[in-house]
Amino acid sequence: MTFRYFTRKEFDCQQTGENDMQDEFIHSLDTLRHECGFSFRITSGYRSPSHSIEARKAKPGTHAQGIAADIGTTDGYERYVIVKNAMAMGFSGIGIHKTFVHVDTRTTTPVVWTY
């Protein structure tokens, strides 16, 4: 599958190089990027279950399931636009940090949090 704004390589695990991202998720990010109207950088995509962050968890999270990404942001306006569009598109996990926005498509109860 090809994507308009992203390459699969952008989602490689930063510690192992593995990549088990779900194509449907990357396609949703492509659509989110289009809706936002500005480019953004993926700061964290797939994380292997052996990645140091995932290994500390009782159960690997959405990054290890290939259904999450962290999007780098530079200001509050970008964070607002990403969150507004992600919610409208049905992303069900949204985490807001000063330098990134986490989005995922978890199947549990939708949740928004801050770091």
Report residue 23 as tokens: 């194509």
Q: Which residues pair with 92 in a beta bridge?
A: none
Structural domains for the chain: 9-114 (3.30.1380.10)
Q: Residue 45: phi, psi to the nearest 5?
A: -115, -110
**Residue pLDDT, tens place only, 66-86:** 999 999 999 999 999 999 999
Residues 6 or more apart in contact with residue 13 via CB below 8 angstroms: 19, 45, 46, 47, 48, 51
**Residue pLDDT, tens place only, 49-71:** 999 999 899 998 999 999 999 99
- Can you tell me the distance from the alpha carbon of 96 to that of 77, in angstroms, rounded to the nearest whole number? 12
pLDDT at 100 over 90: yes
